[in-house]
């Protein structure tokens, strides 16, 4: 394992523990050259999951791309990286649990928005504005109004 700090190709494992329902192993490592500590994750290699894009092309599911998109939507919001990682885990697990080897980008976006709305509403609106490609304020207002009505309805049910 190459050290991200000095590039040396030798490290020792300091701590190892399972995460994500025992499907991932988190390892704390220390570079044998400079002593820099870093974390690596070892996960089971799954069969490829292909994403069918809006234009009909197919590409392999990229967990990091999804993670970056959600991080971007939650920028400067009180959302922890752990919460975002858990959200990506839930979405990926849901996609893989369908048993299909191909999913649409629309499915991925909908799953993300279902999870994101309860995590942070501003991040949800940001993600939705890119995902749904809001063309003007009326479309944005409609989405915001629907979200507010759902929030009001769920509050009324609790009373």
What is the rounded CA–CA span in Å between residue 43 and residue 24?
A: 4
Q: How far apart are CA 124 and CA 81, in angstroms?
A: 15
What pTM value is reported for the model? 0.62
How does pLDDT run along the chain (159 residues), one tens digit per residue?
899 999 999 999 999 998 877 778 999 999 999 999 999 999 876 678 999 998 999 999 999 999 999 999 999 999 999 999 999 999 999 998 888 899 999 899 999 989 998 999 889 888 887 777 666 677 777 777 877 777 644 433 343
Contacting residues for 107 by C-beta, under 8 A, at least 6 apart: 95
Backbone phi, psi, residue 59, to 5°:
-145, 155
Radius of gyration of the CA atoms of the chain, in A: 19
């Amino acid at each position: 394992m190459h050290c991200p700090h000095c590039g040396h190709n030798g490290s020792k494992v300091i701590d190892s523990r399972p995460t994500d329902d025992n499907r991932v192993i988190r390892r704390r490592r220390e570079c044998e050259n400079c002593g820099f500590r870093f974390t690596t994750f070892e996960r089971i290699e799954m069969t490829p999951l292909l994403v069918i894009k809006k234009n009909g092309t197919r590409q392999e599911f990229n967990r990091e791309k999804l993670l970056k998109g959600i991080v971007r939507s939650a920028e400067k919001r009180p959302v922890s990286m752990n919460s975002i990682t858990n959200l990506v885990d839930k979405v990926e697990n849901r996609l893989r649990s369908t048993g299909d080897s191909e999913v649409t980008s629309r499915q991925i976006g909908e799953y993300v928005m279902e999870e994101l709305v309860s995590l942070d509403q501003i991040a949800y609106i940001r993600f939705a504005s890119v995902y749904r490609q809001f063309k003007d304020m009326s479309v944005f207002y409609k989405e915001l109004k629907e979200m507010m009505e759902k929030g009001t309805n769920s509050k009324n049910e609790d009373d």
